[in-house]
Amino acid sequence: MRKPFVGGNWKMNLNAAASRTLADDLARAIATDRLDQACDIAIFPPFVYIRHVHNVLRDRSSSVMLGAQDVWPEPSGAFTGEVSAAMLKDCGVSVVLTGHSERRHVIGEGDELINRKTRAALDAGLQVILCIGEKLEERTAGQTDAVNERQLRAGLANVPAGHLNRLTIAYEPVWAIGTGKNATPADAQDAHTKCRAVLASLFGADAAGRIRIQYGGSVKGSNAGELMTQPDIDGGLIGGASLKAEEFLSIVRAAAAAPAKGR
Ligand code: PGA
């Protein structure tokens, strides 16, 4: 069965004190309500607050995974401003995002770099959430499935089957991110089914049936329930709503309460 997985992508928000407070509020509530029994949970602070959040999670012996929003594919060297997978592990990070739409479309990363990042993080023993999704004009042109397929095939090129147990996909339609417009549960489910079929053609049906596919894009407490009960939606990647403890927790609760999925 696939355990749901909810990530909170804080993006470039908060400061040191607010990062500590949010991490502490989440760790406390998740432990008290034992939400981690039915749901994996990760938070992705800005690089500079990873240490602060790490210390909070350590002091609470929290099961919440510490995530990073990005990683550079090379292990070390003259890459000013970048951070390697080994450095992230050294700071207690266990999961990284690759291919987030803001890195693709605001910062200009291409599929080849995203693939190198994905492979470097997996090779280093980290978990990876590979984010994919179509832009509005691509959706309007009927290209949603083709874009997702291209981003999956390119992002996962040469990823060894032995690393798939540390891979999660996040389907995040770009037009739904930060806009308040989420995909309908039926549209999201449809996209997830097609993504799983691409994963099956790459890695076989059994492996594809075990890979979790999160939905992302304007998920909040009020729409999480209907999204999380879809049979191929295995949790969510949450931006804006992850900055408020109660809102994020209500999404985690919805994911934890959803019926078991997979075989
Ligand atoms: P949002 O962001 O929840 O603010 O739409 C989602 C994401 O970028 O992962």
Residue 76 CA, ligand 1 centroid: distance in Å: 30
Query: Hey, which bits of 89-152 come out as E strands?
Result: 95-98, 127-132
Residue 180 CA, ligand 1 centroid: distance in Å: 9
Which run of H or E residues covers position 154?
A: helix 144-155
Please tell me which residue in 102, 134, 149, 172 is annotated as part of the active site: 172
The predicted pLDDT at position 52 comes to 98
The predicted pLDDT at position 67 comes to 98
CB of 237 closer than 6 angstroms to any ligand 1 atom: yes
Structure tokens belonging to residue 104: 């693709």
Residue 256 CA, ligand 1 centroid: distance in Å: 20
Whether 52 is a known active-site residue: answer no
The predicted pLDDT at position 17 comes to 98
Nearest alpha carbon to residue 96 among 105, 84, 104: 84
Ramachandran class of 24: left when φ > 0, alpha when ψ lies in -120 to 50, beta otherwise: alpha
Residue nearest to atom 6 of ligand 1 (CA): 239
- Please say whether the beta carbons of 132 and 111 come within 8 A: no
Distance CA 261, CA 204 (A): 18
Calculate helix-pair angle for 221-228, 245-257, nearest 10 degrees.
20
Mutate to test the pocket of ligand 1, among 218, 247, 250, 252 (most ligand atoms within 8 A of CB): 218
The predicted pLDDT at position 246 comes to 98
Nearby residues of 51 by Cβ (< 8 Å), 6 or more positions away: 91, 92
Whether 172 is a known active-site residue: answer yes
Give the torsion through C-alpha atoms of 103, 108, 111, 115, to 10 deg: -50
CB of 239 closer than 6 angstroms to any ligand 1 atom: yes
Q: Looking at the DSSP assignment, which residues form a beta bridge with residue 261?
A: 2
CA gyration radius for the chain? 17
CB of 7 closer than 6 angstroms to any ligand 1 atom: no
pTM of the model: 0.98
CB of 216 closer than 6 angstroms to any ligand 1 atom: yes
- Please say whether the beta carbons of 57 and 32 come within 8 A: no
The predicted pLDDT at position 181 comes to 87
pLDDT tens over the chain, length 263 residues: 999 999 999 999 999 999 999 999 999 999 999 999 999 999 999 999 999 999 999 999 999 999 999 999 999 999 999 999 999 999 999 999 999 999 999 999 999 999 999 999 999 999 999 999 999 999 999 999 999 999 999 999 999 999 999 999 999 999 999 998 888 999 999 999 999 999 999 999 999 999 999 999 999 999 999 999 999 999 999 999 999 999 999 999 999 999 999 97
Please tell me which residue in 100, 102, 134, 149 is annotated as part of the active site: 100
